[in-house]
């Protein structure tokens, strides 16, 4: 049986930044509406290309709305297996929580969650042998950001076998 890897990928503040400012210094991905500009993190294309080739499947999991998430994935060229959005989250008060599904642990040898907010994840505690949280610095439009280059190297260096505790 071949070794399988799943990447669960966040969007906002991990790969992109939504800005209401009239001008941004970082590269514009697209204008979502008259007010919201979606800016891409430096080195996003190279990072996405790496993910597309490195992982068996990529699931984008975001607390954003579906049309917004679909457009970002299309514009960035993310080869998604599935896109999970706000509708797939659990809402408590004003916070949306992402739910780790047990089927992911059963299906894949290893799961990497790339998310700047690991605190929004539920149901991960029983799968710590298979899950690696890869937590980038939050992106807020900095033009000199090098985080995705660092993440690429970090991912390459994670052991290819499930963690042994």
Report d(CA 29, CA 7) in Å as an integer: 22
| Boundaries of every domain in the chain | 5-15+42-157
Report d(CA 49, CA 58) in Å as an integer: 12
Check residue 159 and give its pLDDT.
63
Q: Where are the beta strands (DSSP E) in the chain?
A: 5-9, 16-19, 28-31, 37-40, 57-61, 82-84, 90-92, 95-99, 110-114, 121-122, 131-134
Higher pLDDT: 24 or 129? It is 24
Check residue 164 and give its pLDDT.
37
pTM for the predicted model, two decimal places: 0.92
Confidence of residue 165 (pLDDT cuts 50, 70, 90): very low
* 3-62: pLDDT as tens digits: 899 999 999 999 999 999 888 899 999 999 889 999 999 999 999 999 999 999 999 999
Which CATH code fits 5-15+42-157? 3.40.50.1000
């Amino acid at each position: 049986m071949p070794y399988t890897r799943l990447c669960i990928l966040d969007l906002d503040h991990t790969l992109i930044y939504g800005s209401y400012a009239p001008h941004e210094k970082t590269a514009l991905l697209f204008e979502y509406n008259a007010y919201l500009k979606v800016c891409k993190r430096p080195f996003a294309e190279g990072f996405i290309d790496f993910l597309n080739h490195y992982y068996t499947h990529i699931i984008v999991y975001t607390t954003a709305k579906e049309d917004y998430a679909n457009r970002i994935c299309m514009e960035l060229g993310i080869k998604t297996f599935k896109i999970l959005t706000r509708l797939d989250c659990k809402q408590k008060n004003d916070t949306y929580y992402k739910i780790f599904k047990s089927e992911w642990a059963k299906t894949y040898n290893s799961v990497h969650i790339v998310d700047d907010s690991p605190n929004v994840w539920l149901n991960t505690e029983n799968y710590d042998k298979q899950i690696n949280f890869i937590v980038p610095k939050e992106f807020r439009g900095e033009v000199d950001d090098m985080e995705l280059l660092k993440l690429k190297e970090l991912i390459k260096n994670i052991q290819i076998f499930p963690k042994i505790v």
